[in-house]
Amino acid sequence: MDFFEKKVSEWTCENVLNHYKGNNPQLTLKQALDSINKDLKRISKDGSDAMCREKAEAIIVNWKKLNNSWLFGYELLVPAKPYTLGRSEWTKDLKKNNRKQELILERDILMTEQHNEVIRTALVRDQAVRTTLTRQLEIFGNEPHVQTPTRKRRNSNDGLTRNANDQEEGRFLQEERDELGNQSGDEKDKISKKRKDCEVEEECSSILFDEKNEDSLIESIDESKLINETRLPISKPSENISEYKLSSGGDLLTMFKKYQKSIPKCRRVTTPAYWGILDLTRESLSGCKEFSERDIQELSQDFSNTISWNPKSAPDYLQEYFNKNCEESHQIKDIKKLHTNIQFIKENMYSFNDSMTEEELKMISTFPIFRSILQLNVVKDAWGEIQVYSTKNARNENSNPFQRARLGRKVDMKGTLKNTPNKFEALFGEVSGGMASLGISSSSRKKRYLDKVKLSIMMRDSLNNALKGCRHVDNNQRKNLVVYGWLQVGFELNFYAMNWFGGLYRFGLLDHCILPSQEDDCGLFEDIYCILKELNIKLLQTEKSVKELYRSNTLGKRRRTTMENSPALNMNRTPD
């Protein structure tokens, strides 16, 4: 209090703080300010000097005005310059200085909280992912003791709404139990098994498609078990094999189910056969003893005959265009769009030697050439992270109606046939990783394989979505429906096809090409030009097959020409 016995002209923030903290270094800034406030009140009441009382009272009044804000908190007051403790100076400088310090402190606290939250979330997420993935890879199988995953209720902030939802769900489950109680023992076992398969299937699918699990799944893939991909043989006219019998005498479906059961538990989620897909690229068939080399060759040849993939040569004028490194086109009106997009790619080839993301690689190298050649009056091509509606229907078909609907899986490119009754999703594209420096793909062999498995599952779901609605057609018409896909790794593209074949899905490699990465290599565009031209023809055939399928289904249903029958679709994903 002895400080305020000095002249009023010496009453500055710097002097008063130095005095109080100098006498007692243990004081914090808040404690020092409290002592100053207390002494000022005494001066205003009992001071002997009238001028001192007036100044002290003025400071206290201004102090009260500022006291609504936490201006006198921890280390908030750092005076920029000496100033007199008066009516306007004290208020103005304190407001300006303390507001700045308040914002700085709030920013630091917020950044610290966000940093801690990110670390805490990442740790919890990684631990949950590892625990879930390890548990699922260990227990997936047909053992009777496998525990059915519990159903998750929809979260709600409204307690009344949550209780109502719980009551509705409980009523729904009770009706299911009552319905099961009226069934015979065998029927109840079948229904229970089907429901358990559907729940396990959805959890398998969630693990496979969840990006948070990708690194763990890639680590679980044994690269030594992967075989180099094999293209389908050249198609040739011959008798198609039976749906169920091979020339060796073996029953196809029996052999395939036996192969499914022989897959090790740790590899099931990442093996196409687990999802009902026979991988005729042979990449995942390492250790498969159920199918001989002759059986695989026979199935591949029959699939090739069904597809009849045979790209034609480019016209003479286009061959000349490609021979001239795609530089002269002013006399060729038919390829104006192709030439424009190729020049766009050439102008951006300088970036191919630097690192690139998936999106950059896709939009600079693949998108322009596809958009130039695909028949856009037939196919609606969508690029980006595109939802596949057939996978959405597959995920929600057996779900609880009282739970929130699940979204479809996403793909980098999707082609929808515009003129089909069901808007059939006939073409899917996936880009596996971006580019590292010097134009080298950043995708590993295992990453590429995992993306191919995901691509094949989405192709299969598209077939299922169309076939499950056509129950008045024969199996030969169902086999004619073909869906296509492509996978890009760096500058290399693989093209695939799939069809339904009496209870399983045949998946094979149709073609392969390399995109140019240097301006003087643009003649390589001729390869993908011929491939995409052939793909246009095949998509038109698929459009025709879809229309015939729905037309035949209508005739069979309304004119009683074909009895109702259900196709053997591998929708439960697990072996019987």
Q: Where are the domains of the chain?
A: 2-108, 252-398+405-558
More confident residue, 527 or 354: 527
More confident residue, 20 or 513: 513
- At 570 the pLDDT is 64
* Statement: residue 117 has pLDDT above 90: no
* Statement: residue 70 has pLDDT above 50: no
Radius of gyration of the chain (CA): 36
Q: What is the average pLDDT value for the chain, to the nearest integer?
A: 76
pLDDT digits (tens, 9 = 90+) for 372-421: 999 999 999 999 888 887 766 666 666 655 565 555 678 899 999 999 99
DSSP collapsed to 3 states, 179-248: HHHCCCHHHHHHHHHHHHHHHHHHHHHHHHHCHHHHHHHHHHCCHHHCCCCCECCCCCCCCCCCCCECCC
Distance CA 63, CA 61 (A): 5
Percent of the chain with pLDDT over 90: 30
- At 142 the pLDDT is 44
Confidence of residue 497 (pLDDT cuts 50, 70, 90): very high
Highest mean predicted confidence (pLDDT) among 128-137, 154-163, 237-246: 237-246
User: Lowest mean pLDDT: which of 124-133, 547-556, 563-572?
Assistant: 124-133
* Statement: residue 451 has pLDDT above 70: yes
Place of tokens 């059915």: 148
pTM recorded for the entire structure:
0.63
185-209 vs 159-181: helix crossing angle, rounded to 10: 140
- At 250 the pLDDT is 83
pLDDT digits (tens, 9 = 90+) for 181-236: 555 555 545 545 544 454 445 456 556 666 666 677 777 787 777 877 878 777 77
The torsion angle over the Cα atoms of residues 237, 239, 241 and 246, rounded to 10 degrees, is -100
pLDDT digits (tens, 9 = 90+) for 33-57: 777 777 777 777 666 676 777 777 6
More confident residue, 273 or 98: 273
* Statement: residue 546 has pLDDT above 90: yes
Span 60-82, mean pLDDT? 45
- At 233 the pLDDT is 79
Percent of the chain with pLDDT over 70: 62
More confident residue, 7 or 410: 410
Q: Which of 162, 566, 181, 182 is nearest to 402 (CA)?
A: 162
* Statement: residue 505 has pLDDT above 90: yes
Span 130-148, mean pLDDT? 52
Q: Which of 459, 455, 426, 461 is nearest to 536 (CA)?
A: 426
Q: Find out whether 462 and 393 touch, Cβ atoms under 8 Å.
A: no
Span 560-573, mean pLDDT? 68
